[in-house]
Amino acid sequence: MTKVIHVLNGPNLGLLGVRQPELYGTATLADVEKECRDIAGPAGFEIIFRQTDAEHEMVHFIHDARVGAAGIVINPAAFCYAGYPVLDALKMCDCPIVEVHITNIHNREAEWRSKSILTQGVTGMISGLGIDVYGLGVRHIIRARAGR
């Protein structure tokens, strides 16, 4: 195992901090990346931080992480509602996987947002704590790999 944590972001998250700040906050994805690195660095872990709007690219990102990653933190965004190729790719990984959502997907305006199909392919899910979800996911992987 390498000491590399992959933090993967799905469609539209490149606009974090720019669109709908009342829902998603004002921090940008660059701010989130910095926070992940600030948590991982002192623990001796490296972060690979990526975002894509394309499902096939997300599948490739997961393939890249499959061999050797310490863990994956993934905000799949709307891929969590119908992204079966993403689910299959996650199921091929043996490392800890934390699915994160900035908003509480169980408490949103639309019912369709509440059910993630990816939960059956991940270790756990954190939802609704703003961008803190990313750091919590990174911390979980660090602790899981330290054997606690």
- Contacts to ligand CA2 by CB under 6 A: 12-13, 15-16, 19-20, 24, 75, 77-78, 101-103, 105, 113
Catalytic residue (choose from 101, 106, 134, 140):
101
CA-to-CA dists, residue 46 to 4, 53, 140, angstroms: 5, 24, 14
Choose among 147, 93, 138: nearest CA to 118.
93
24 is catalytic: yes
Catalytic residue (choose from 24, 63, 84, 106):
24
Of the pair 58, 145, the CB lying nearest ligand CA2 is at 58
**Angle subtended by helix axes 84-91 and 55-66, to nearest 10:** 0
Of the pair 47, 77, the CB lying nearest ligand CA2 is at 77
106 is catalytic: no
Of the pair 29, 145, the CB lying nearest ligand CA2 is at 29
Name the minimum Å distance from CB 67 to ligand CA2: 26
Whether 52 and 75 have beta carbons less than 8 Å apart is answered as: no
Name the minimum Å distance from CB 62 to ligand CA2: 16
Q: Mind giving me the DSSP string for 89-106? A: HHHT--S-EEEEESS-GG
Name the minimum Å distance from CB 139 to ligand CA2: 18
Of the pair 24, 61, the CB lying nearest ligand CA2 is at 24
| Helices of type H across 41-148 | 55-66, 79-82, 84-91, 132-146
Name the minimum Å distance from CB 90 to ligand CA2: 15
Tell me if residue 148 falls in helix, strand or coil.
coil
Residues designated as active site = 24, 101
